Homo-oligomer: A and B are copies of this chain.
């Protein structure tokens, strides 16, 4: 599938916002961006509109588009929705998962465990995402799966830091085990509660999240 320049620019801009090149509230100048990417304003505008739809920037008519990083409150809200959506996936998956689907889940979990051993945060992050993606898939609801992937992607830059917390990786693994066990027992409610705990930001996790958020705000 061919990609248009506008698509590439949208992805690049997304990256630039995520990695803090563009800070919160900053105005994104169309001509500057056009020069930066060596294109005309047209594809830049298309890219900006896509970002506006996904919520990374806010577009004020006849004023321009401004970077809009979610604050602590909104971030907490997004994580809560993520937790609830994943809980729904887990509950549905508990009764709908196929044999091969369950095998995939076990496999993904094994791979996570192997990575925990060598304390490779980056790889764990990737394998963890795979584990969750399988759960979405096994909800048996394609639309739900897509929505989960969308939100997961949106929260991605904010989850990276979470695993750096000492002992978090091991704890995460333990929670995975609980989830898998509940699904194996076809106990939807228990699986839902387990993953809700796993994803939601509470107590210490909240502290670390906002702590990591601070630098970007300054």
Contacts and interface: CB of A to CB of B under 8 A. Distances in A.
Interface of A: 1-4, 45-46, 49-50, 53-54, 61-62, 74, 77-78, 80-81, 84-85, 88, 141-144, 147
Contact of A2 (B54, B61, B144): B61
B2 A62 contact: yes
A85 B49 CA distance: 27
Given A49-B46, A49-B50, A50-B53, A78 B143 contact: yes
A74 B84 CA distance: 21
A143 B49 contact: no
Given A1-B61, A62-B2, A141 B50 contact: no
Contacts of A45: 46
A141 B77 contact: yes
Contact of A143 (B81, B142, B147): B81
B74 A143 contact: yes
A160 B84 CA distance: 28
A80 B144 contact: yes
B3 A144 contact: no
A74 B1 contact: no
Given A3-B61, A61-B2, A61-B3, A81 B46 contact: no
Which of A2, A45, A143 is most buried by chain B, counting CB atoms within 10 A of its CB?
A: A143
B143 A77 contact: yes
Contact of A144 (B1, B77, B141): B77
Nearest to A147: B81
